[in-house]
Amino acid sequence: MLIIPLIAGRYVVGFSDSKSSSPHTKKLTSSEENSSSSKKYRYRVVIDAGHGGKDTGAICCDNKIEKFIVLSVASKLKKKLEAKGFKVYMTRDDDTFVKLPKRTEFANNKKADIFISIHANAAPSKKTRDIFKGIEVYYLSPAKTKRAEDAAEKENAVMFEGKDFYTKNEYLSLLSREKIVESHKLGLDVSAKMLKNVRSKFSSIVNGGVKPANFWVLVGAQMPAILVETGYITNPKEGKNLMNNYYKELLAKGIAEGIERYLSHK
């Protein structure tokens, strides 16, 4: 008797005999294939390319601009998810500024199952550009490290222009506790698959970990939501990688596989 993987964490029992040409595999019927595709199509993913328009995000060395890098990764991710059968929406698909609260509002209106915001990080100074590196994934929860606090402060800056300290804390206290655990699980799957893919072709890729932080762009999401920092554009090696089209393809492939893995256990 064989236990054969079928779809989304389910299994079927099969029997083999000596006359079978492929005793260890079972070909999916058209109805089973359609069932797999239909199940994926039920899921809706909203991809948020960070920054845009007047908000450039991080900039380094003139030609490395975060808003363009992350839009490229987001567009590649959309194609890969659609190829897998998911319904996909983007908060922006061109160089447009979208206010942070509008991004999760868009995801909520689309009744998304997953919200993923894509960014690129930057070192706090030229002196530390060689030190700060790594692919990091964040989920919404009070920050536990200074590095997480700094990353959130950078990404939240456009939201809090002109607002006092009290107002900032009031906004960031609106945490969706219900989704913290699921967002953490999603982050772990996405991080693992992303690192596996980029490390297959690019050496010395640092695992920055999966961490909690107060990112405004994640506040208000009614579904598991994570923010992916694809690397530090200020780091000489990572900045070069982020300008490499194939590297961005591998990032997108890893994120797509991570989302698929997470949803397969739902």
Q: Do 144 and 204 have their domain in common?
A: yes
Residue with tokens 């002196």: 127
Q: Do 30 and 114 have their domain in common?
A: no
CB-based contact 191:207 (threshold 8 Å): yes
Output the domain CATH number for residue 152: 3.40.630.40
Q: Do 25 and 98 have their domain in common?
A: no
Q: Do 254 and 163 have their domain in common?
A: yes
Phi, psi (rounded to 5 degrees) for 158? -65, -25
- Give the pLDDT of residue 151: 59
Q: Do 61 and 184 have their domain in common?
A: yes
Q: Do 128 and 24 have their domain in common?
A: no
Count of domains in the chain? 2
- Give the pLDDT of residue 6: 38
Phi, psi (rounded to 5 degrees) for 192? -60, -45
Nearest to 173 by CA among 139, 206, 219: 219
Return the bridge partners of 60, or none. Answer: 64
Q: Do 118 and 11 have their domain in common?
A: no
Q: Do 37 and 51 have their domain in common?
A: no
Q: Do 93 and 10 have their domain in common?
A: no
- Give the pLDDT of residue 50: 97
Query: Which structural domain, as residue segments, surrounds residue 33?
Result: 1-41
Question: Burial of 226 by CB count in 10 Å (0-12 exposed, 13-18 middle, 19+ buried)?
Answer: buried
Q: Do 28 and 116 have their domain in common?
A: no
Q: Do 33 and 64 have their domain in common?
A: no
Chunked in runs of 10, what are the mean pLDDT values of the chain (266 residues)?
Answer: 39 36 44 56 94 96 95 98 97 97 95 97 94 95 59 55 49 58 96 98 96 86 95 97 98 98 92
Residue 171 to residues 98, 221, 225, 252, Cα–Cα distance (Å): 18, 14, 17, 31
